[in-house]
Structure 1
Amino acid sequence: MTGAMDGHAEDRGRVFQASGDQHISEHHHYGDAAAPPSGPDSVRRPAVGRPPVVLRDRAEVLERLRDGMRAGRGGEVYVLYGMGGCGKTAVACTLFQLATAEYGRVGLWVSASDRASLRAGMLAVAADRGAGDGELLAARNGLRPAADLVWQYLDRSAEPWLLVLDNADQPEILRDGSWLRTSPLGTVVVTTRRSAAHWWPGAELQHIGVLPREDAARVLRDLAPHSGTQEEAAAIAERLGRLPLALTLAGGFLSQQVLDPWTLETYGRHLDEGERVELIDRGADALSERDPRHLVGLTWQLTLDVFEARGLPEATALLRLLARFAPEPLPLSLLDRAGISGVLPRARCETALRALLDQSLTELVDVGVRCAQSHGVLLDSVAAATPAEQVPVLDTTAVLLLDTAVPDVPDAGPHDPLLRLLVPHGLALLRRIGDPSTSADALAVVTRLSIALHRTGDYLSAWETARAAADLGERLLGAEHRLVLAARSRAGRALFRLGRYAEAEALLGHVRAAQERLFGADDPDTLDSGHGLQLVLGNLGRRDEAIRLVRSTVAGRRRVLGPAHPLTLRSRSGMLVLLPASEIVAEDGGTLLSLPSECVRFLGADHTVTLGAHHNRAWALYLLGRFDEAGQEIRLVTEAYRRRFGPDYPIALSAQQLLSRTQAARGHMDAAIELMADVVARRERGLGPDHPFTVAGRRLLGDLSSGRWRPPET
């Protein structure tokens, strides 16, 4: 060896410069089964409940949109904008059906309401267009630009397509990452409440407004044909401001009356007697006094009054509970839990939900998980009109239901689409709740949800969720509340995984200093931030600082949590890849190399910490020149990773790379080259040829093939 400083970092690993071939990787285990990243299973169908049987008064709009479907056309972006409840999604859904049935287009439907939903949906689009598991994993883990991957496959599509980005009421999330682009092979349609032209450069904007009088009347008669005449329907439609959402709610109500059916004349009389309900249509322009959105409150209030009169108060209670959540798909499993009894008897939840479905107050949608979804204008209206004395129990129950849906102790595992679906609902609770104690409970749950996302490798969603939760929690709890600091610490951990080391160091350093000042050096939260910070320092090349901090963290966790706690063992495992070879044998009283055996005894052979300890010990043995032992151990780890994650998962490739090194060190050069060639090929497919991990792997393969490679000096 020449003694040159030739270390390099690979696979989210850490490298510290030393004489000789010193390569140190930090290893983490994610999951119990091979599971490529997945998004919603429904990108081939609109995520809406019941599209209108007949789309009234949109012929001119549809004709303009159909022009984009005709042979040889592509590259267009159409933006359908208008107030909430005007039927933008209905127009997009009808176009979607036409594109797939008449024009031979592949239809792709993605919710753009929040970052997590947008990213998951767009990655599902990439998968639909042919992206491989390795590429999708890399995009989800933040190892390659996700939007670039999606549009690469859209541009390569063998079939023309229509892509709908629904509910893009925060256009900035489309701009971040450049999700909205054009392609000669397809047409993009966006639905939004935001019409400012600067959000949609180069797009064709199409306003979707309220319906003309006669068409609005026909909507009522489509839904409730026996409730009155066309002129009576026109009068009621005018009374409802000709807003499609209000018409749908009114028609749904009239169509379901059996024992004592209402006529349109009766319905109009009750409208005249009703009180206006305050309505907040988030993301749209301010309401005028005569804005038809005000009338949505009257339509659903009449329905709830009838529920009460007919002995079904549970339907009212359920709608008010749904209004604490976001207007996004809410997994039905969330409602089928004992905790709902604080608002309505669990045994009555099915009946209450059916009543809401019958009255079009909510819809069933299938996004890979069966969900209920209600319109945002309706939910805002219901939330604003909920009696103040009922709000505390509704908020408490909503938090409890969310709490039971998030794992108590999130563990490494395969991607779970349910977790992504819960994000907007957790953040909506933090926005709605006004009581500090309940807000703290909600923040704890959402932070745990961020941890669960992190441990599936969805680092972008984990960071966005933790950051947003901390910002929302700080409003009521203050910047130095324990839970706010814990959420910011999790955001820092996710930034580290995204490779944003400088930001991660600044955030984790600030949080840890505040925690130490407020709670003490041995507080579990302080120690957790310390563990995260030492990872960052190691990757920044500040080995001495990292070693001091990890030793302090191990000592603190031993005192507070005990020697057998998984977090204590995890921190000790990190020392196996952080310490130079000269210190490994003597560290921790000479017991560090036996750590995997301790993990097996305390946690079991299949625990994530145990498997990571075996991986790290294999690296330490390799540095010590004990190549036979290292090779045997890393082979078992590699096989376990491949079984659990599949051959393309980054950590499986990291283990295979170490296996290649041990094979070379034992003189099995052909086997080493074969293993490393496979690593490079998989990285090129997943990360691209220019990614640093790919480049580093190719360099090692070149050294092995040319005979330049040498084992580490001991």
Structure 2
Amino acid sequence: MSELGARASGQGRIFQTSGDQYIQEHHHHYDAGAGPLFGREVVSAATVTGPAAPDSVRMPLVGRAPGVLRNREELREVLGAAVAGPGGDIHVVHGMGGCGKTALAYWLFTSALRDHGRVGFWVNASERMSLRAGMLAVAGDRGAAPGELAAASAGQRAAADLVWHHLDHSADPWLLVLDNADDPTVLEDGAWLRASGRGVVLVTTRHATSPLWRTPGAARHPLGVLPLDDAAQVLCDLAPDAGDLTSARKVAERLGRLPLALTLAGSHLAHQLLESWSMDEYDRKLGEESTAIVDGGASGYGGGTSRHLVGRTWQLSLDTLAAQGAPEATTLLRLLSFLAADPVPLSALAPLARGEIVAEGLEPALTPGKLEPALRALLDHSLAELVEADGERCVRAHGVLLDSVGAGVPEGQRAVLAEVAAELLETALPEKGAEPGAMSRLGVLAPHARELLEKAPGERTVALAVRTVRQVFDSGDFAAALELAPGVARQSEAVVGPEHPLALEARHVEAWALTRMGRYSESEALHRSVLGTRELVLGPDHPDTLSSCFGLTWPLYLADRGEEAERFIRRALDGQRRVLGEESPEALYTWANLLEMLPHVGKGQELASEAEACLRVCERALPPDHRTTLIARHGYTDGLRVLGRCEEAEPLARRVLDDYIRLQGPDHPVSLAALSLVARIAHGLRRFDEAVATLEEVIARRERVLGAEHPFIVDNRRWLTEWQAEARP
């Protein structure tokens, strides 16, 4: 079986995607006078065929179809019967990296659509963030409303439940491919992996023994290397002029009959420019250095050696590039090996291309004039590909290739490469308070910051990773922040120690994410731990310590422990005023949040004076429509309602509602909270018909956004029953 075998001619090149499950081939043509990659687009849309954009779930992320699918007849028969049947099946295809799982999935995907009338969905399951984004896109395809998707994305309702609800109610039968699920924990102990009578699920993974694969209705299918004759035929498919089957058998055996290695070798043989090796000559070149395959990952996740499969195969291509005058391609690939096997925005590399970041000490040197040819060389020799991610053009190299190259980086170059990678990411991260468009880049950059910390642990990479997690949280993606924060915190503690301010900040963000996700007891425990350590290490009045006081306020308040919450928020406010200033953004934000608590802790008599003073300072010291000012107005208005002053509260509530809808949209949770406040004020004014109608609207919209079992919905339904009784004559 060819992994993704196909012939290319002319300027055609065979490419591979990120993650060691994808082998792709597409043709990439450049105009003779094309300008640099960093700047205007140089690839004509009319002359490029390649993989679908990463944000598509209706097309496989594999480029072109395999020219010939070798072997696997028995498994193809089983999978073909599954998509021809009624559905309800889960099939897990497992094996070592590069053994052809993705090519098999592509064949099944095409067959399901073409021959059996199923809708196909393809989701990259290599990481939690890519899985979550892909599955939510599937829900959107199956009819989920924008408000529902926004709530799931923000962690305000169960994302997996939303997706599977819409899959279970799909009007069309479907096939769902969860590709590259090498770490089963990404599937959240089975939350994302379910059987449905409306469809068939296919999982590709290197992990053979996960308990998840014993999910009821799941069938496991091992996939190994190819039989020798089929492996040899793959080489002949790709490079028919390089030798006969006898010669191909020798190369195939030396490469361990792994489709990944065979595809790259065949591509190399088919696209040589300065030399034209036969398969016999290629076999002799391979014999100069061991290419033995070590499989530590097919039977259990975590075997790092499984990725170091056929380094010599790629090294031959790099040697060819060096002989052609592009030795810097090796340096660029080494630099990419310090990042994740995910798309790297070209804009992140641009400062290096423009000379704004100077990479001193690299050998061969990666000077501004050399980066462009090095990148083109990697693209032309199937060592990287151009892809789109979140609207940005990116370069992506295969994970097995990156691991192989990374293992061979000379010790004297490791520190230099790590410093350059860190500076590139630091420059690429958006600044605090950047526009939403800029903040969207975090999804592309976050995996690289985490990977760099793992590969080059140090205080600088700790700071970079913690900054990234903080920005993900501040962007409102609380679920993603909670996925990132614990791992970054553990790594940070291992590098700089658990009492270092950076490690404490990572835990602080994790505690906040727990609060936003409704896990109040866990949040309280972690906030208390961070607060205690900060008090000992930084002192009781350090801004970070005061930030921990404010953070601890909310799990206490939301768990109906108002008096404790008030003590901590007042400690935070007093300290921030003393240390940072009366009109500091931190002090004003804490003050605005205090307004919400006052009537609920028996301090309603203080509300009017506190709110008047707070709003006066906010409107003077902060920009118009600042979130702190809106929080203050909302808290004051709700306080007036609690105190029975509904006539005063009504116009303020409508202003708050209008402001939130204008700034956040009508289905944002804060907008619905403001609409709920309008309904409660109408009830307080005994306008029961109006109150009931408004509350019914709140319930209907909140159910779409938050889910039918959310505590807010439970309260709203109880109020509705009571108000309807009051409205009856």
TM-score scaled by structure 2? Answer: 0.84
> In the alignment, what sits opposite 1:245?
260
Residues 411 and 452 in structure 1, CA contact (< 8 A), matched pair in contact too:
no
| Cross-structure match for 1:419 | 442
1:315 pairs with 2:329? yes
Q: Secondary structure at the match of 2:431?
A: coil
Q: Separation in 1 of the partners of 2:312 and 2:490?
A: 35
- Corresponding residue number in structure 1 for 2:348: 334
Rounded to whole Å, the distance in 2 between the matches of 1:535 and 1:402 is: 33
Instruction: Name the SS for the 1:516 alignment partner.
Output: helix
Residue 116 of structure 2 aligns to a residue whose secondary structure is: coil
Query: In structure 2, which of residues 565, 577, 586 is the aligned counterpart of residue 558 of structure 1?
Result: 577
Paired with 1:100 and 1:76, the residues of 2 have a C-alpha distance of 17
Structure 2 match to 1:603: 622
Q: Could you say which residue in structure 1 is the equivalent of 2:240?
A: 225
Tell me, in whole angstroms, the C-alpha distance in 2 between the residues paired with 1:413 and 1:669: 40
CA distance in 1, matches of 2:174, 2:284: 48
- Aligned residue in 1 for 2:532: 513
SS of the residue 1:183 aligns to: coil
Opposite residue 585 of structure 2, the aligned amino acid is P
- How far, CA to CA, are the matches of 2:464 and 2:56 in structure 1? 27
Alignment partners' CA distance in 2, 1:681 and 1:567? 36
> What is residue 90 of structure 2 aligned with on the other side?
77
Alignment of 1:388-399 (within 5 A): 388-399=411-422
- Pick from 205, 210, 227 the counterpart of residue 212 of structure 1: 227
Offset of residue 708 of structure 1: 7.8
Query: Aligned runs of 1:583-598 on 2, under 5 Å?
Result: 583=603, 586=606, 590-598=609-617
Q: Tell whether the 8 Å contact from 1:86 to 1:244 is kept in structure 2 after alignment.
A: yes
The corresponding residue for 1:524 is 543
SS at 1:579 equivalent: helix
Letter in 2 for 1:353: L
8 A contact 1:277–1:298 mirrored in 2: no
Displacement of 1:625 in angstroms is 4.6
State the distance in 1 between where 2:280 and 2:236 align: 13
Equivalents in 1 of 2:225, 2:508: separation in Å? Answer: 47
Match for residue 4 of structure 1?
none
Once residues 293 and 494 of structure 2 are traced to their aligned partners in structure 1, the CA distance between those partners, rounded to angstroms, is 24
Q: 1:236 to 1:638 in 2, by over 3 A?
A: same
Per the TM alignment, residue 414 of structure 1 is displaced from its structure 2 partner at its CA by 8.4
Match in the other structure for 1:304: 318
Report the alpha carbon displacement of residue 340 of structure 1 after superposing the two structures with TM: 5.9
Question: Residue 169 of structure 1 corresponds to which residue in structure 2?
Answer: 182
CA distance in 2, matches of 1:275, 1:464: 39
CA contact (8 A) 1:82 1:88 kept: yes
Q: Deviation at 1:131?
A: 1.4
What is the aligned length?
A: 663
Counterpart of 2:631 in structure 1 is 612
Q: Work out which of the residue numbers 688, 705, 712 in structure 1 matches 2:724.
A: 705
Correspondence for 2:424: 401
Q: 1:40 to 1:280 in 2, by over 3 A?
A: same
Deviation at 1:341, TM superposition (A): 4.5
- Greater mean alpha carbon deviation, residues 459-468 or residues 202-211: 202-211
Structure of higher RCO (CA pairs closer than 8 Å, 6+ residues apart):
1
Cα shift at 1:407: 2.6
How far apart are the structure 2 equivalents of 1:148 and 1:592?
41
Secondary structure class of the residue paired with 2:715: helix
Letter in 2 for 1:242: R
- 2:377 pairs, out of 337, 355, 359, with 355
Secondary structure of residue in 1 paired with 2:540: coil
Distance 1:416 1:125, change over 3 A: farther
| Structure 1 segment 11-22 matched on structure 2, within 5 A | none
User: C-alpha offsets along residues 49-86 of structure 1, whole Å, 9 cap, x if unaligned?
Assistant: 4553332223333222111111x431111111111121
How far apart, in 2, do the equivalents of 1:264 and 1:546 lie? 74
Find out whether 1:151 has 2:164 as its counterpart. Answer: yes
Letter in 2 for 1:205: R
Distance (whole Å) between structure 2 residues aligned to residue 380 and residue 460 of structure 1: 29
Provide the residue aligned with 2:56 in structure 1.
Answer: 42
Q: 2:339 aligns with which of 291, 307, 325?
A: 325
Partner of 1:428: 451
Question: How much does 1:571 deviate?
Answer: 0.6
Is 2:688–2:723's contact at 8 Å kept on the other side of the alignment?
Answer: yes
Q: Secondary structure at the match of 1:176?
A: helix
Q: Give the Å deviation of 1:479.
A: 1.7
Residue 498 of structure 2, aligned match among 471, 479, 482? 479
CA distance in 2, matches of 1:293, 1:500: 37
Tell me the secondary structure at the aligned position of residue 196 of structure 1.
coil
- 1:17 is aligned to none
Structure 1 residues 564 and 266: alpha-carbon distance in aligned structure 2, compared to 1, 3 A threshold: farther
**For 1:173 and 1:482, how far apart are their aligned partners in 2?**
29
1: CA distance between counterparts of 2:291 and 2:249?
Answer: 21
Query: Contact (CA 8 Å) 2:291, 2:310: kept in 1 or not?
Result: no
Residue 544 of structure 1 aligns to a residue whose secondary structure is helix
Is the aligned partner of 1:61 residue 2:75? yes
Q: Is the CA contact (8 Å cut-off) linking 1:276 and 1:294 kept in structure 2? A: no
Q: Taking structure 1 as reference, are residues 670 and 293 closer, same or farther at Cα in structure 2, changes over 3 Å only?
A: closer
Compared with structure 1, are the counterparts of its residues 698 and 620 closer, same or farther at alpha carbon in structure 2 (3 Å cutoff)?
same
Mapped to 2, the partners of 1:585 and 1:395 lie a distance apart of 58
Q: Does 1:639 align with 2:661?
A: no
Q: Which residue of 2 aligns with 1:33?
A: none
Shift of 1:283: 6.9
Partner of 1:119: 132
Preserved CA contact (<8 Å) 1:469 1:487: yes
Please tell me the residue identity of whatever aligns with 1:64.
Answer: V
